[in-house]
Amino acid sequence: MAVSRSQRMTVVLQLANRAEEAAVNALNDSRDNVERAREQLEQISRYQQEYTRQLNAKTAGLSAQNMINDRRFLQQLGQALSAQQQQILQLQQAETGCLRNWQQCYQRRQGIEKLIQSLKSAEDASAEKLLQKELDELSSLFRNRET
């Protein structure tokens, strides 16, 4: 017996499921990356605040060169914060792309599932119609034999 269209479409559905799973994994990885970057930003920020607090507490008795070095280091920390914020923005954009990709995969899979269900319904209706036709023919044969 020939394989029905709905059965052949299950292969396409399996591929769509795999694509969706890959998209989910990529989205989760992307979200993890954003979270790690935010944690790093928080660590840099806390370090900068603590360093500034300590620097303000020990300003008396520092040489001019030490003060210049400390200010330069604070500047570098500020640059590191800006760079980290920029990285977070880039990671968030990547996360948005991953989300869009997952949504497309999800919708594609749902569309395929609906198509398979529609094909099964059509196949069932066709089989029912064929069965009814055969029953009608058998009934007609029995009636013709009886007469």
pLDDT of residue 9: 93
Q: Which two tokens stand for residue 100?
A: 């869009």
Domain count, the chain: 1
As a whole number of angstroms, the distance between CA 67 and CA 79 comes to: 18
Q: What pTM value is reported for the model?
A: 0.77
Question: Which CATH number is 37's domain given?
Answer: 1.10.287.1700
pLDDT of residue 1: 60
pLDDT of residue 98: 98
| pLDDT tens track, the chain, 147 positions | 688 888 999 999 999 999 999 999 999 999 999 999 999 999 999 999 999 998 888 766 678 888 889 889 999 999 999 999 999 999 999 999 999 999 999 999 999 999 999 999 999 999 999 999 998 888 888 888 776
CA angle centred on 95, ends 28 and 31, rounded to 5°: 35
pLDDT of residue 119: 94
For 39-61, give the secondary structure using H, E and C. HHHHHHHHHHHHHHHHHHHCCCC
Q: Give the DSSP letter string of 55-108.
A: HHHT-TT--HHHHHHHHHHHHHHHHHHHHHHHHHHHHHHHHHHHHHHHHHHHHH
Domain of 121, in residue numbers: 5-146
Q: Which two tokens stand for residue 88?
A: 């977070």
pLDDT of residue 120: 94
pLDDT of residue 122: 93
Q: Which residues contact 47 (CB under 8 A, 6 or more apart)?
A: 77
